[in-house]
């Protein structure tokens, strides 16, 4: 086949064929991947090279929070590229200086020192290193229903089945149960869950535990909003035993939940807060480890043994500054809260109308629908870590109808960009409403 060399001139078929031939797609057997070819994107929509429009109901990987193609951010990246695209991280630049100060203003409590990385996994890698150095302890507690990234330590911290292929992983990671036990068993109260956590701490030996890492609102593993009192209780237990609390806000940060950070809903200040995704809305890759002043102060006389060629990358820092300005100028955090309330109503309507809907959860514009075969038994429509004909058909319908979201196990997400309007939100939910007729057919008596 003769391949077009002018940018923007390849056909959809060429893009797919060459991408599959010469590049690996993540988390997939390569023979089964069926990627969507994408040519351009704007606001909450993106288009294939053939002009088919998709409504982005997952902000890609829950990261394009401000929406696609925002010219203010594009211009900031262009300007920075023209002025200074890169210097060594041993040097100081204006975007780095400004971003550190800006994040210190936005982050809870006295989290006001940052180490910049290329993404979320590297942020968590460095968070674990920090916690081990600062406490002189080696164990790290993490939860089963979690994802913390695909690199060495981050994938070991990860509780979901993506960890299995990377085992045994790094030493010292201990997984604990979450308050949520899946749709059939449901939730523990905050008190029960904290009692289990404290038991694990006792059994492991408090003096051996450097940190507990958790997503304050769990993302890919189910938009799990903790019962009130849980995060406050974790904070207390961590303080009681000298364990550092690391909150992974890679997905939940930057307005997704209707606050700058999910911990803000409960006024909890972790010792370390990791972020990525919404920090730049993914226009350029960037992650960060935020730490309380007391932790950073420990590295005044001690060496901070961490480094990355692209640490504090000027393009990424400029993109982050412009993105944060967009959140503020367009009041996107407020929009996430206001339209989050509308979305809660729309999710509730789905639950009333469709017998295959077993549970809905949301906070801000972070939402999920869990599907079941039977409302009485709450048997999930696909097993843990598995799929089913009905869930596959649902995904195909979304694709055919031009709605993009992640369909996983027995659930799918409703996580649009925070710039969405009420009319656009209803447009997406109208497609979902029709799609659920497919899954309703699996429910006995319908
Ligand atoms: C909560 C959480 N932590 C960490 C990561 C890893 O981030 P990255 O893919 O940027 O390495 C993700 C990615 O989905 C995430 O959702």
Is residue 370 over pLDDT 60? yes
Over residues 168-184, the mean pLDDT reads 98
Average pLDDT score over the chain? 97
123 lines ligand 1 (CB under 6 A): no
Over residues 290-315, the mean pLDDT reads 97
When pLDDT is cut at 50, 70 and 90, the band that residue 3 belongs to is: low
Question: What does the buried/exposed string (b/e) look like for 381-406 if buried means 16 or more CB atoms within 10 Å of the residue's CB?
Answer: bbeeeeebebbeebbebbbeebbbbb
- What's the Cα-to-Cα distance from 120 to each of 78, 211, 276, 349, 425, rounded to whole Å? 24, 17, 5, 34, 28
Cis peptide bond upstream of 411, omega within 30 = no
259 lines ligand 1 (CB under 6 A): no
57 lines ligand 1 (CB under 6 A): no
Cα separation, 407 vs 393, whole angstroms: 10
Cα separation, 220 vs 222, whole angstroms: 5
Tens of pLDDT, residue by residue over 222-273, are 999 999 999 999 999 999 999 999 999 999 999 999 999 999 999 999 999 9
Cα(153) to centroid of ligand 1, in Å? 13
Ligand 1 atom nearest to 220, measured from its CA: 16
Cα separation, 266 vs 231, whole angstroms: 7
Cα(29) to centroid of ligand 1, in Å? 21
Give residue for tokens 């710039």: 419
Ligand 1 mutation pick, 120, 218, 272, max ligand atoms within 8 A of CB = 120
288 lines ligand 1 (CB under 6 A): no
Cα(312) to centroid of ligand 1, in Å? 18
User: For residue 305, what pLDDT is reported?
Assistant: 96
Is residue 186 over pLDDT 80? yes
When pLDDT is cut at 50, 70 and 90, the band that residue 9 belongs to is: confident
159 lines ligand 1 (CB under 6 A): no
Lowest mean pLDDT among 2-11, 26-35, 196-205, 299-308: 2-11
147 lines ligand 1 (CB under 6 A): yes
Cα separation, 374 vs 376, whole angstroms: 6
Strand 53-56, strand 173-176: pairing = unpaired
Is residue 110 over pLDDT 80? yes
250 lines ligand 1 (CB under 6 A): yes
Token pair, residue 42, equals: 């704007």
Residue owning the nearest CA to atom 13 of ligand 1:
149
For the chain, the C-alpha Rg in angstroms (whole number) is: 22
Ligand 1 mutation pick, 251, 253, 272, 278, max ligand atoms within 8 A of CB = 251
pTM higher than 0.85:
yes
Tens of pLDDT, residue by residue over 373-406, are 999 999 999 999 999 999 999 999 999 999 999 9
Residue owning the nearest CA to atom 3 of ligand 1:
148
Tens of pLDDT, residue by residue over 76-105, are 999 999 999 999 999 999 999 999 999 999
Tens of pLDDT, residue by residue over 35-56, are 999 999 999 999 999 999 999 9
Cα separation, 316 vs 177, whole angstroms: 36
User: For residue 4, what pLDDT is reported?
Assistant: 55
Ligand 1 atom nearest to 285, measured from its CA: 10
User: For residue 2, what pLDDT is reported?
Assistant: 56
Cα(271) to centroid of ligand 1, in Å? 19
Ligand 1 atom nearest to 120, measured from its CA: 7
Tens of pLDDT, residue by residue over 323-365, are 999 999 999 999 999 999 999 999 999 999 999 999 999 999 9
Strand 379-380, strand 366-374: pairing = antiparallel
Three-state DSSP class for residue 338: helix
């Amino acid at each position: 086949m003769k391949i077009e060399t002018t940018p923007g001139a390849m056909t959809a078929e060429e893009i797919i064929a060459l991408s599959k031939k010469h590049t690996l797609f993540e988390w997939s057997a390569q023979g089964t991947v069926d990627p969507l070819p994408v040519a351009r994107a704007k606001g909450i929509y993106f288009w294939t090279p053939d002009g088919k429009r998709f409504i982005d109901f997952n902000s890609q990987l829950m990261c394009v929070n401000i929406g696609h193609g925002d010219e203010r951010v594009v211009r900031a990246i262009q300007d920075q590229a023209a002025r200074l695209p890169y210097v060594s991280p041993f040097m100081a630049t204006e975007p780095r200086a400004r971003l550190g100060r800006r994040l210190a203003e936005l982050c809870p409590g006295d989290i006001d020192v940052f180490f910049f990385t290329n993404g979320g996994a590297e942020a968590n890698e460095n968070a674990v290193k920090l916690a081990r150095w600062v406490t002189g302890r080696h164990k790290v507690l993490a939860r089963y229903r979690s994802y913390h990234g695909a690199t060495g330590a981050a994938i070991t911290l990860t509780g979901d089945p993506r960890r299995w292929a990377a085992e045994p992983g790094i030493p010292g990671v201990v997984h604990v149960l979450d308050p949520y036990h899946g749709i059939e068993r449901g939730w523990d109260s905050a008190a029960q869950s904290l009692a289990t956590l404290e038991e694990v701490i006792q059994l492991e030996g408090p003096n051996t535990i450097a940190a507990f890492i958790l997503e304050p609102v769990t993302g890919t593993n189910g938009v799990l909003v903790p019962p009130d009192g849980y995060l406050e209780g974790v904070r207390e237990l961590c303080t009681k035993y000298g364990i550092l609390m690391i909150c992974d806000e890679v997905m939940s940060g930057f307005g997704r939940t209707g606050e700058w950070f999910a911990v803000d809903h409960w006024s909890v200040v972790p010792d370390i807060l990791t972020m990525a995704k919404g920090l730049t809305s993914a226009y350029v890759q960037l992650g960060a480890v935020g730490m309380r002043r007391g932790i950073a102060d420990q590295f005044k006389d001690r060496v901070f043994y961490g480094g990355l060629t692209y640490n504090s990358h000027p393009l990424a820092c400029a993109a982050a500054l412009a993105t944060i300005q967009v959140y503020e100028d367009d009041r996107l955090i407020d929009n996430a809260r206001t339209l989050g309330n509308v979305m809660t109503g729309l999710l509730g309507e789905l639950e009333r109308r469709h017998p295959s809907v077993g549970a809905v959860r949301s906070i801000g514009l972070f939402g999920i629908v869990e599907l079941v075969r039977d409302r009485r038994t709450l048997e999930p429509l696909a097993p843990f870590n598995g799929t089913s004909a009905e869930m596959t058909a649902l995904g195909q319908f979304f694709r055919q109808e031009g709605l993009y979201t992640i369909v996983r196990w027995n659930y799918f997400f409703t996580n649009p960009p925070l710039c969405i309007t009420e009319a656009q939100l209803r447009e997406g939910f109208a497609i979902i409403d029709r799609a659920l007729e497919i899954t309703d057919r699996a429910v006995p008596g319908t």
